[in-house]
Chains A and B, each alone.
Chain A
Amino acid sequence: MTMDATQYEDGSISYPGHPRGPDGAKPVGTIDLSEYTAEVITWTTSTATPPGVREPNTLAILEFDVEGETVRAIGQVTTDDVETGDEVEPVPVEELREPGAGIREPESQDWDGYRFEPV
């Protein structure tokens, strides 16, 4: 399992990747963010979750530093004992939510990924 971000010809990185980056920049490669730790920018614990999602569901916006270039992601957190500024590391999970329990077609996307644990 990987967590692939896309790097563009202007040096910027995005997660997820897009066919074109900022100002139409073309992708030039991928970077596996699961090899990096990240910093918690902000977080929330949701108590009203959709079908097939754990309850409560603690989520965070995370910032990775990839050789001086920052890239952000959203991710589940393994605990609700988290604070802004915490350093977290990825932990692989087979299913982040139950495929098919919600409205989205199960085959239309991946359901595995990473939860993030304070270091």
Chain B
Amino acid sequence: MTQFGQREGWILDLLAEAGLECLEDAAVDATDVDHLYVSNMASGEFEGMTGVMNALVHDLGMMPAYTQRVDQTSSSGGAGIYAAWQSIASGASDMTLLVGGEKMSHRSTPETTDIIASVTHPVEYKTGVTLPSFAGLTARHYLERFDAPRESLGKVAAKNHENGVDNPNAQFQKAVDLETILESPIVADPLRLYDFCPISDGSAALLFCPEDVAREYADEYAVIAGVDGATDTHVVHEREDPTVMDGVVESGKGAYEMSGYEPDDIDVAELHDMFTILEFLQMEGLGFAAQGEAWELVEEGYTERDTGELPVNTSGGLKSKGHPLGASGVAQGVEIYEQLVGEAGPRQVDADVGLACNVGGFGNCVITTIMEAAR
């Protein structure tokens, strides 16, 4: 992955940077790539640049490779993983490059908030609802219903900022104490500034191929053991239980079933902590905690990187690493890959099986991927 944060380059620069680095790292020639997938939510809205996949295939010298852009809002990266895996599993491609990226920071915060909120239904949009507002509505319901302390959400932010200190590509490589988090400005009551991910530029890439091809290039690699995508209602208030994201539950079920693994088998997880409350909902939806109990596991240190049973967001998560929309799901995959092949440096944990959950909209669409170290 590239440096996340406020970057000078535009979308094509960012995508090309990640794509080239990935090919060089794997020692794969651009001409050997059959398919190129570009995960990107809104380059047209942010930058007035459409057709980014065609521009990128040319910039990387990959013609006549097939290419397509994958837009699934915030889960575009995860959807890219699903598409890239399908291209290999179907036999349509023997070498697929996936590049995810977004350029956002040149827009004002209100403009960016509005572009992201444009995923909502007209009856939602006209109320001025934003994705952070949905998080505030959900967080209040969760805290009241499960009698969870407000501090437990702050501890998610503190943990992920602590993890980000050791990620050289994270937007914020700075620890933040709980008191600062709990006293930061209110954004969507009861959630405050540090409950939210930043606005970010950045890109990330992964290369997919059949295992027999992978062995020609590397001794260490990771295998997609299970991957699935699922949806929930587009209109958020139509969900029967505001604390359950069915897309998380169903995509998780599919990924577990395909891989043969269960929640207890997962050694490390990257969860979509665009808002701190989402880490609780995904822990519960993916079976790491019973409903209403994820906050207790966080309080007990269960998800801490160096001492916890299940390290969550060793990369720093979206919270500290940043959230360039189309890049985030790919970057989750990069972190799990690095953990599985032992390249995570000071963030390294003992892991043979890892899981990434990438959430689009406010749970409208979700991709869950389980990866294992090659045996």
For residue B173, CB closer than 8 A to chain A, the reply is no
Contact with B along A49-68 (1 / 0, CB 8 A): 11111100101110000000
In the bound complex, residues from chain A placing their C-beta under 8 Å from that of B306 are none
- Cβ-defined contact, B235 with A61, below 8 A: no
CA distance A61 to B127 in the complex (A): 11
In the bound complex, residues from chain A placing their C-beta under 8 Å from that of B237 are 61, 72-74
- Cβ-defined contact, A109 with B125, below 8 A: yes
- Cβ-defined contact, B133 with A44, below 8 A: yes
For residue B111, CB closer than 8 A to chain A, the reply is yes
For residue A75, CB closer than 8 A to chain B, the reply is yes
For residue B345, CB closer than 8 A to chain A, the reply is no
For residue A111, CB closer than 8 A to chain B, the reply is yes
- Cβ-defined contact, A49 with B110, below 8 A: yes
CA distance A104 to B129 in the complex (A): 13
| Tally of chain A residues near chain B (CB < 8 A) | 37
CA distance A53 to B191 in the complex (A): 19
Once A59-B127, A76-B127 are accepted as A-B contacts, the answer to whether A46 and B141 lie under 8 Å apart by CB is no
- Cβ-defined contact, A75 with B127, below 8 A: yes
CA distance A50 to B115 in the complex (A): 9
Which among B128, B140, B186, B238 is the interface contact of A42 at CB below 8 angstroms? B140
CA distance A111 to B123 in the complex (A): 9
- Cβ-defined contact, A15 with B110, below 8 A: no
Once A103-B45, A110-B126 are accepted as A-B contacts, the answer to whether A46 and B140 lie under 8 Å apart by CB is no
In the bound complex, residues from chain B placing their C-beta under 8 Å from that of A14 are 235, 238
In the bound complex, residues from chain B placing their C-beta under 8 Å from that of A45 are 136, 186, 188-189
In the bound complex, residues from chain B placing their C-beta under 8 Å from that of A108 are 122
CB proximity of A94 to chain B, nearest CB, Å: 12
In the bound complex, residues from chain B placing their C-beta under 8 Å from that of A48 are 109-110, 113, 130, 132, 187-188
- Cβ-defined contact, B238 with A43, below 8 A: no
| Tally of chain B residues near chain A (CB < 8 A) | 39
Contact with B along A21-49 (1 / 0, CB 8 A): 00000000000000000000111111111
CA distance A108 to B124 in the complex (A): 14
For residue A92, CB closer than 8 A to chain B, the reply is no
CA distance A114 to B110 in the complex (A): 24
- Cβ-defined contact, A96 with B126, below 8 A: yes
In the bound complex, residues from chain B placing their C-beta under 8 Å from that of A11 are none
CA distance A51 to B151 in the complex (A): 32
Once A51-B110, A102-B114 are accepted as A-B contacts, the answer to whether A96 and B127 lie under 8 Å apart by CB is yes
Q: Which of A60-119 contact B (CB under 8 A)?
A: 60-61, 72-76, 84, 96-97, 102-104, 108-111, 113
CB proximity of A89 to chain B, nearest CB, Å: 17
**A–B pairs, 28, beta carbons within 8 Å:** A14-B238, A42-B140, A43-B140, A44-B189, A45-B186, A46-B128, A46-B132, A47-B186, A47-B187, A49-B130, A50-B111, A50-B113, A50-B128, A51-B110, A51-B111, A52-B128, A53-B128, A60-B137, A72-B238, A74-B123, A84-B141, A97-B126, A97-B128, A103-B114, A104-B118, A104-B125, A109-B126, A113-B127
Q: Using CB atoms and an 8 Å cutoff, list the residues of chain B in contact with chain A.
A: 45, 109-111, 113-115, 117-118, 121-130, 132-133, 136-138, 140-141, 144, 185-191, 235-238, 242
Q: Using CB atoms and an 8 Å cutoff, list the residues of chain A in contact with chain B.
A: 14-16, 41-54, 57, 59-61, 72-76, 84, 96-97, 102-104, 108-111, 113
Given contacts A44-B136, A46-B132, A104-B122, 10 further A-B contacts (CB under 8 A): A16-B121, A45-B188, A48-B187, A49-B128, A57-B127, A74-B237, A75-B127, A96-B128, A102-B117, A109-B126
